[in-house]
Amino acid sequence: MRVKIQYSVDLEDVPDQVERLLPSSWEIEEIKGLIEDIEPEASPTAAMKSIDYIRKQLFSLDTRLDDCYSILQGYVGVLSRGEEQPPEQPPEQPSLEDQLKALEGLKGLAAFENMTHTGGSDDSVS
């Protein structure tokens, strides 16, 4: 099973992180050697197993390359919009006074609703 991992790095560290994810030359050389060693005439079954293993390794490398591509695509997008965007500010919280006014308004609405549904008595709202 494949899972997606996500973590944050500083913008200037993105190229270094991508470089770490790129397949190394020895991985490619290993696959190349496995391909060169395939002998279908000598053992078709062994050749099939080798080919299956190579395909899985190539898929793994392709997936890593696709991840690198996506990361760099996002990186280039950020750079093209200009330098780092300032962090988003959290929405401003209403003052305690505004919250109390809103609560009073809700109490009034509840009293009105109670009066219209119970025939005019607002005993349940204090």
pLDDT (tens digit per residue) in 86-119: 556 666 777 777 777 777 777 766 666 667 666 5
Integer angstrom CA distances of residue 55 from 42, 48, 63: 20, 10, 12
Rounded to an integer, the average pLDDT of 69-73 is 95
pLDDT score at 84: 52
Percentage with pLDDT > 90 across the chain: 57
Higher pLDDT pick, 103 / 85: 103
Task: Identify the residue whose tokens are 């109490």.
Answer: 107
Contact status, residue 33 vs residue 94, Cβ threshold 8 Å: no
pTM of the model: 0.59
Instruction: Pull the structure tokens for residue 31.
Output: 């696959």
